[in-house]
């Protein structure tokens, strides 16, 4: 018997006409992720099979846990021996050390020339299991152990319960988006949720040296590295926001600092998104969290761009976001204590219900178009991703 990795799709199976498109991207994403490991991937509309050397199985299943579009990851066994007596023996060997009280045998028989039908095989094998393992019973509705047997043309496949994958859509199936990534808790979680829906993300970070330190930027790079595990790689655009912020601080009434600053961030993000073929902006705004996230503020800020702005955590409360940040793996980095560019310039009384008319008037006090172009011209691009780690793996 040889081990084989089986992947089940979940939500993807509901795609009818274009399922092939989704599956071929999933296959590519997996293949790219494990390109340092010898592998063969095949698939049909029901599942995907990955064959690797026995010693690589664990490494590959660990990587699969970060890939969207996978509902379940199962390590199964494949054999050419289709003799019923041997099938029974093999199954006992495979399940005798598993902990379970109830089980069910499910048989699929695509080889119609096999002398028994699937019901007969299930019954026969179920009876054999009951005879050979003590204190267990059959439960057809909610079994602890599922014994799956597939009789195929040239081989038999056995598999049992797997582990849950991340679900969602394969990254890239829905095109690209630009994530506004600060060093906080919310935006990485927002990014994760967008990637989960198949959006391949690039990220943009606004820094204000010397008011923000290299540590703050390093934090964003570390967060990008975690998101890259789900997204393959992250192209991170770093924008120097100092000049714009200083002009805003000097010339604009202080209760509108944040409103105007965020309008500038939106404008720059929309241009970078457009130039990089990203169709949406994604950010970590959450309704009511701070003054710039009241509904009126959101409207006044959103007003300056035409591109859709997706806010995956808009309706989550902070505890839900924290909970997800812990599961995604970004929480510890997000809570490191470095200032980001907004916290440094926060006025004591930001406007809660800004007016569009005033925002437009105040902006005329600074040459914002030139400032925006200056910031975009000087922008820095970093590529962050699992590729870096793989290279180190080979060297060390």
Residues at the contact surface with ligand ATP, assessed by CB under 6 A = 180-182, 184-187, 204-206, 283-285, 289-290, 340-342
The 8-class DSSP code of residue 87 comes to: H
Phi/psi region, residue 288 (left: phi>0; alpha: psi -120 to 50; beta: rest), is: left
Residue 88 or 254 with smaller CB distance to ligand ATP: 254
The 8-class DSSP code of residue 330 comes to: -
In angstroms, give the least distance from the CB of 379 to ligand ATP. Answer: 12
Binding segment for Mg ion (CB under 5 A), chosen from 30-38, 116-124, 182-190, 221-229, is 182-190
Q: Exposed, middle or buried: residue 126 (CB in 10 Å: 0-12, 13-18, 19+)?
A: middle
Of 336, 388, 333, 325, the closest CA to residue 192 belongs to 325
207 near Mg ion, judged by CB under 5 A? no
Select the residue interacting with Mg ion from 66, 122, 186, 312 (CB under 5 A): 186
Contacted by 342, from ligand ATP, Mg ion, none: CB < 5 to 8 Å by type? ligand ATP
In angstroms, give the least distance from the CB of 300 to ligand ATP. Answer: 14
Contacted by 205, from ligand ATP, Mg ion, none: CB < 5 to 8 Å by type? ligand ATP
Residue 48 or 371 with smaller CB distance to ligand ATP: 371
Residue 29 or 292 with smaller CB distance to Mg ion: 292
Q: Give one DSSP letter per residue of 303-318, joined into a string.
A: TT--S-EE-TTTT--H
Contacted by 181, from Mg ion, ligand ATP, none: CB < 5 to 8 Å by type? ligand ATP
Contacted by 180, from ligand ATP, Mg ion, none: CB < 5 to 8 Å by type? ligand ATP
Residue 60 or 282 with smaller CB distance to ligand ATP: 282
Residue 25 or 282 with smaller CB distance to ligand ATP: 282
3 state DSSP class of 239: strand
Q: Exposed, middle or buried: residue 329 (CB in 10 Å: 0-12, 13-18, 19+)?
A: middle
Distance set, CA 340 to CA 34, 239, 330, 336 (Å): 35, 13, 16, 11
Residue 186 or 202 with smaller CB distance to Mg ion: 186
Binding site for Mg ion (CB under 5 A): 186
């Amino acid at each position: 018997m040889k081990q084989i990795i089986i992947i089940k799709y979940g939500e993807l199976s509901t795609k009818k006409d274009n399922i092939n498109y989704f599956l071929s991207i999933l296959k590519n994403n997996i293949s790219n992720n494990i390109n340092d490991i010898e592998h063969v991937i095949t698939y049909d509309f029901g599942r995907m099979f990955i064959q690797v050397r026995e010693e690589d199985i664990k490494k590959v299943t660990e990587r699969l846990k970060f890939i969207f579009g996978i509902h379940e990851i199962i390590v199964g066994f494949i054999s050419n021996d289709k003799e019923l007596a041997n099938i029974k023996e093999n199954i006992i060997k495979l399940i005798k050390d598993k902990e379970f009280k109830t089980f069910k045998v499910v048989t699929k028989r695509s080889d119609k020339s096999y002398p028994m039908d699937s019901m007969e095989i299930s019954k026969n094998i179920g009876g054999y299991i009951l005879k050979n393992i003590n204190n267990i019973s059959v439960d057809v509705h909610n079994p602890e152990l599922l014994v799956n047997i597939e009789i195929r043309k040239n081989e038999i496949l056995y598999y049992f319960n797997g582990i849950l994958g991340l679900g969602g859509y394969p990254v890239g199936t829905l095109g690209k988006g630009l994530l506004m990534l600060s060093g906080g808790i919310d935006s990485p979680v927002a990014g994760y949720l967008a990637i989960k829906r198949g959006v391949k993300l690039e990220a943009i970070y606004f820094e204000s040296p010397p008011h923000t330190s290299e540590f703050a930027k390093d934090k964003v790079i570390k967060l990008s590295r975690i998101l890259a595990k789900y997204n393959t790689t992250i192209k991170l655009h770093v924008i120097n926001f100092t000049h714009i912020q200083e002009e805003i601080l000097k010339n604009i009434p202080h209760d509108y600092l944040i409103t105007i600053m965020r309008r500038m961030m939106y404008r720059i993000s929309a241009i970078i998104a457009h130039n990089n073929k990203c169709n949406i902006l994604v950010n970590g705004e959450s309704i009511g969290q701070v003054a710039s996230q009241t509904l009126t503020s959101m409207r006044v800020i959103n007003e300056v761009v035409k591109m859709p702005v997706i806010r995956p955590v808009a309706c989550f409360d902070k505890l839900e976001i924290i909970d997800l940040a812990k599961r995604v793996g970004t929480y510890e980095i997000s809570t490191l204590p470095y200032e980001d560019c907004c916290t440094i310039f926060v006025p004591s009384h930001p406007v809660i219900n800004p007016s569009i008319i005033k925002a437009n008037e105040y902006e005329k006090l600074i040459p914002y178009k030139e400032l925006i172009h200056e910031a975009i011209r000087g922008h820095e691009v970093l590529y962050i991703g699992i590729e870096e780690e793989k290279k180190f793996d080979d060297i060390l």
